[in-house]
Chains A and B, each alone.
Chain A
């Protein structure tokens, strides 16, 4: 459903992917910290059970992500293409300059790409930790460092992400796009000036009043 003055930013499948990832991440962070932090491990103490839950939670998380991506099909591929492509404005934006951005700004693209790469690496290192405990062939001295390092970097990215999505006044409106799916037209025009939503033409010439016109075809 389209509301007047709002423009759809994230499709259902994109939002599903985001929230499946977010839910999985928090679940794995919680169970992982119980395994990682001595103080929590004393409180919970059932390490093997937690380890089991953490491992199978991780497997379920990666499978769920894969299912959503497959369900998304071509639309998901189009999103991936958007995230893949950086133009001159993106580079300028990353260097701190003012440059018009598309549906994703360059920072969001980098965040998404790193999050995807980390999911792969979390999966690989997690599997190696699990199987390495049973078979020396899968044991590397650096697996635990990789898994922990990924956690620290992901946590740093997450803190930045949460700040921009929940606190920073200029950007927190984006959260609506990831929950309800749409964002205010004037916000989109300001933050994502180059974005041309499918089937919708944003009137950029007259900031007020805002109009939404369906494309003629």
Chain B
């Protein structure tokens, strides 16, 4: 009989499983940059109500750009609508709420990769607010100014006239919480979150779009979900 040779198959031979586990974990993690979101969307789509209940804050993350989160004071807050309009407006919170109320359920997508599905927004249609101010024909874009200085962003008049573009003062049936932009934020579900300006205080009608806060830092002006910022292109 041949003398037995010690090979990798020898059950008593110690195995270097540690480095394999290390390399596999690192490789899995790095490659997940390419497949992670698709996999997560697949899973969370199936268990959507569970994820929003289990994830802290319902899956939301709060991004701010200044040192202080704006505080809503109903006595002093106004929503000013000016610029190229026939009828400049300065609406109190109650006056805003007196406009025709609409609701929508939509998914909210952040450009950094997280999403919150089925958010119920309540508020007024962009179209109804603008109609009251009577924009001039030269007004081709809208500037949205946040109480969080220096946050601004722009939409073209066409984008702002999308049916589900709205000013939301309610979220999931309750008044919009401070961290989500109280008292009112812009909602345009077709675009990434950075276009959905929080803590709104001013809307100015202007001749054309300019670069908003994040666009000045390199983000796309037309922030279509899945079709901008390096995604889906």
Interface residues of chain A, those whose CB is within 8 Å of chain B, are 35-39, 41-42, 45-49, 80, 83-88, 90, 109-110, 113-114, 116-118, 120-121, 124-125, 128-129, 132-137, 139-146, 148-150
- A135 to B66, alpha carbons, bound, how many Å? 21
Within the complex, the shortest CB–CB distance from A129 to chain B, in Å, comes to 7
Q: Does B113 lie within 8 Å of A144, measured CB to CB?
A: yes
Contact of B113 among A35, A46, A47, A140 (CB under 8 A): A140
Please list the 7 inter-chain residue pairs (A to B) with the smallest Cβ-Cβ separation, ordered nearest first.
A142-B36, A84-B18, A117-B25, A38-B57, A121-B29, A41-B62, A86-B17
Q: Which residues of B have CB within 8 Å of A41?
A: 61-62, 64, 69, 179
Q: Which residues of B have CB within 8 Å of A39?
A: 56-57
- What are 29 A-B residue pairs whose CB atoms fall within 8 Å in the complex? A35-B61, A38-B60, A45-B69, A47-B65, A83-B18, A84-B16, A85-B14, A86-B15, A109-B18, A113-B22, A116-B22, A117-B22, A117-B25, A117-B26, A118-B25, A129-B112, A133-B217, A139-B229, A139-B230, A140-B113, A141-B36, A142-B34, A142-B40, A143-B112, A144-B113, A146-B29, A146-B32, A149-B32, A150-B29
Q: What's the A-B contact tally at a CB cutoff of 8 Å? A: 137
Q: Which residues of B have CB within 8 Å of A87?
A: 12, 14-15
Q: Does B62 lie within 8 Å of A42, measured CB to CB?
A: yes
Q: Does B61 lie within 8 Å of A38, measured CB to CB?
A: yes
Q: Does A117 lie within 8 Å of B21, measured CB to CB?
A: yes
- A149 to B156, alpha carbons, bound, how many Å? 37
- A136 to B214, alpha carbons, bound, how many Å? 12
Question: B67 at interface (Cβ–Cβ under 8 A)?
Answer: yes
Contact of B25 among A121, A141, A142 (CB under 8 A): A121
Interface residues of chain B, those whose CB is within 8 Å of chain A, are 11-12, 14-19, 21-22, 25-26, 29-30, 32-37, 40, 56-57, 60-69, 111-114, 178-179, 217-219, 229-231
Contact of B35 among A83, A142, A149 (CB under 8 A): A142
Contact of B57 among A37, A49, A135 (CB under 8 A): A37
Q: Which residues of A have CB within 8 Å of B61?
A: 35-36, 38, 41
Q: Which residues of A have CB within 8 Å of B11?
A: 88
Contact of B16 among A85, A110, A120, A144 (CB under 8 A): A85
Q: Does A124 lie within 8 Å of B30, measured CB to CB?
A: yes
- A42 to B179, alpha carbons, bound, how many Å? 6
Within the complex, the shortest CB–CB distance from A50 to chain B, in Å, comes to 10
- A117 to B21, alpha carbons, bound, how many Å? 9
Q: Does B67 lie within 8 Å of A49, measured CB to CB?
A: yes
Q: Which residues of B have CB within 8 Å of A129?
A: 112
Q: Which residues of A have CB within 8 Å of B60?
A: 38
Name the residue of chain B whose CB is nearest to the CB of A84.
B18
Within the complex, the shortest CB–CB distance from A102 to chain B, in Å, comes to 10
Q: Which residues of B have CB within 8 Å of A83?
A: 18
Within the complex, the shortest CB–CB distance from B9 to chain A, in Å, comes to 13
Name the residue of chain B whose CB is nearest to the CB of A87.
B14
- A146 to B36, alpha carbons, bound, how many Å? 7
Q: Does B29 lie within 8 Å of A117, measured CB to CB?
A: yes
Q: Does B179 lie within 8 Å of A38, measured CB to CB?
A: yes
Q: Which residues of A have CB within 8 Å of B56?
A: 36-39
- A39 to B18, alpha carbons, bound, how many Å? 39
